[in-house]
Structure 1
Amino acid sequence: MSTAAPAATPAAGAVLADLLPASSAARARLRDLALVAGGAALTGLAAQVSVPVPGSPVPVTGQTFAALLVGTALGARRGAASLGLYAAAGVAGLPWFAGGSAGWSTASFGYILGMIAAAAVVGALARRGGDRTVLRTAGVMVLGSAVVYAVGVPYLAHSAHLSAAQAVRLGLRPYLLGDALKAALAMSLLPAAWRLLPRG
């Protein structure tokens, strides 16, 4: 009596981007460059979804979600490189920060720096299977958001001359509900991608 072959199991230490085939080292480098550039572009596009928060210089945007998604899907090295490219291009004048802005002299620039660190953190966790189940993905997203705030809120306090309490009130509290919704979306997308994508 024959039995069905078991489904392939993803290799330990793999992230979603590793499932994209590359037949040689040169093709793998080209793939990685394309992924890094694509992740930066995705973050720039998501940043244009921007809603002002009354009384705060930091709008609600889609860029944090995109940054965490990029870091998780690409892994720590490529994810941090992608967000680093996003930040560097924006500082150089490409208007793809929130609301079509550019440069580093805004009070919200600390959040962009935090996204680079967060992409590295969530990417490292993804290599340990952090994006393969709903609960693990939730934890990864919460931790990644915490890293963004750990850099962004103190930067906001310094650049806008706010007290720590004011910076938390203006730069953290208004965004917690949105972060919960983004985490819920990631919880549905990332584990589902592992189930649907070809595995080698």
Structure 2
Amino acid sequence: MAGVRTIKITGQDIHQYLDKLAALRIEVFRHFPYLYDGSQAYEKKYLQTYAKANGSAIILATEQEEVVGASTCIPLSEETSALKQSFKNTAYNMDEIMFFGESVLKETYRGRGIGVEFFRQREGHARQLEKKYATFCAVQRTSNHPLRPAGYQSLHNFWKKRGYTPLPQVSTQMEWKDVDQSEESSKTLNFWIKKLV
């Protein structure tokens, strides 16, 4: 992580980074497996959630004045009804769960321990709020997807090394427009979870 520093921002401090965070999400999520064809306006509106929600935080990775990565977390109880609904019929108490929204990092900064630091700081924030679990969801793509790059490796092993396990019975549906599509389509995202205490 030489030359890169990470900082945690919360509440109204998030507003000054909205443009940079929106652009970063569009850049990173455009690639497989998300293939997300995003817009600056939608992204800024989405990120407002973190500025308004109680207990949310964004971990920024910066080099000099450039934002090169970001990782978000928010209490599950502050998330959308669709995400909360995914846990409705489980044994988990929603008030005890911190939801990790995303980690986005410019390609040239990967493999330098920044992703590990994102998880460490988000888990630390969750523990400060006395959350018992951390969870996130990831999009499912077929192994023969036409836009899957040769040699692509999923992050499953990375997540397992961080202590996360799949929740095979818990999933959610989200819609967005893929880079090779003309309209939005529904995607399945499956959850992973880790006990923090």
TM-score by length of 2: 0.29
- Give TM-score, length-normalised by structure 1: 0.28
Larger strand percent: 2
Compare CA radii of gyration and give the structure with the larger one.
1
Higher helix share: 1
